[in-house]
Structure formats: structure tokens, C-alpha cells
């Protein structure tokens, strides 16, 4: 069985992420979306919320599951008995960072391969960080995230403003 891991913070999941998930799900018997528990990024949603949001966005994918992990990605990959890491690339600067990470992961375990997938061109200019910023300032991000995610962001941001 060919099993791959697609790791990330997914805060929030975007249509760009879903595009990578859809294409990866066609290539592998099993795809695990690895939601990193502690991100170096400032997260709007905690890991449990992110997992639930992703699960509600991928109900049509029967060979995709979502798991939370903490620590080294390579340890999570081994624990899942996978040997492929999926990484999405939008722009050249993504490649430089991801290339370094792929080399380090190969050094940690040379049985694990990183597969780079180019984002669909209609999503190359977006990121979860940009989505959060535009949304929090009242901008329309409906073309870039599922409707359910928009609703959850509104609830979360409105709740944070009341604090």
C-alpha cells in the first residue's frame, strides 16, 4: 500500500490545500493529512479545531484521514508507516525553504522521499496567513476557502474581538 503524509498547520485549510489533497488522493492508496500541533506560526484555530475543519472539508475523499502530530515530521512519517511526504509549492521562495527541509528529512531517514506538487495557478498567490489577514479586515476570501471554513472563521474572529 502506498501511503503519503501531507503535513502542515492548515490554519485555515484553503482551496489550494484541497487541490493538493485531491490530486494526492488519486496518487496514493492512503493519504494522511498531518496537522502539526505546535506551529511556529500564530494560529487562529487550535489543532483540534483545525482537524475538525479539515475533516468536514474532505468528506468526499475515502482514502484520506486527518491526524494531529507533535515533534519531528520524520518521526510521524515513520509512525504512520509511510515513506512519502507531500509538499505544495506556490512560488520560488517556497521551493528554497521546502528544499532545505526535504534534504534534512532525507538525512534523518533516507527511505523517506519528499514529493513536491505545484499549486494550481489560481491559488499561487494565497496563503493561510494572507487569508486570515484579509478576512480579519473585512475582505472577501470566498474564492479561496470552503464556505464552512468562512463560517468558522467568522465565529472565531468575532469571538476573539469580544474578548
Residues that are catalytic: 17, 41, 90, 128
Alpha-carbon gap, residue 116 to 85, rounded angstroms? 8
Cα Dmax for the chain: 49
Q: Which residues of 100-118 are buried (b: 16+ CB within 10 A; e: fewer)?
A: eebeebeeeeeebebeeee
Which helix or strand (DSSP H or E) is residue 88 part of?
A: strand 84-89
Question: What's the DSSP call for residue 38?
Answer: S
Which residue is associated with the grid cell 483540534?
48
Angle at 34 between CA 47 and CA 57, to 5 degrees: 75
Q: Whats the size of the chain, residue-wise?
A: 163
Amino acid at each position: 500500500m502506498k501511503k503519503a503524509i501531507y503535513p502542515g498547520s492548515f490554519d485555515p485549510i484553503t482551496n489550494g490545500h484541497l487541490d493538493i489533497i485531491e490530486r494526492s488522493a488519486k496518487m496514493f492508496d492512503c493519504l494522511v493529512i498531518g496537522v502539526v500541533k505546535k506551529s511556529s506560526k500564530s494560529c487562529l484555530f487550535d489543532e483540534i479545531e483545525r482537524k475538525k475543519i479539515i475533516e468536514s472539508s474532505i468528506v468526499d475523499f475515502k482514502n484520506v484521514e486527518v491526524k494531529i502530530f507533535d515533534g519531528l515530521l520524520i518521526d510521524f512519517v515513520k509512525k504512520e508507516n509511510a515513506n512519502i511526504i507531500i509538499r505544495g509549492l506556490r512560488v520560488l521562495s517556497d521551493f528554497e525553504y521546502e528544499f532545505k527541509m526535504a534534504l534534512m528529512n532525507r538525512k534523518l531517514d533516507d527511505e523517506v522521499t519528499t514529493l513536491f506538487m505545484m499549486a494550481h495557478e489560481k491559488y499561487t498567490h494565497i496563503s493561510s496567513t494572507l487569508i486570515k489577514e484579509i478576512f480579519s479586515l473585512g475582505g472577501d476570501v470566498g474564492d479561496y476557502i470552503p464556505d464552512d471554513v468562512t463560517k468558522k472563521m467568522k465565529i472565531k474572529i468575532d469571538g476573539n474581538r469580544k474578548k
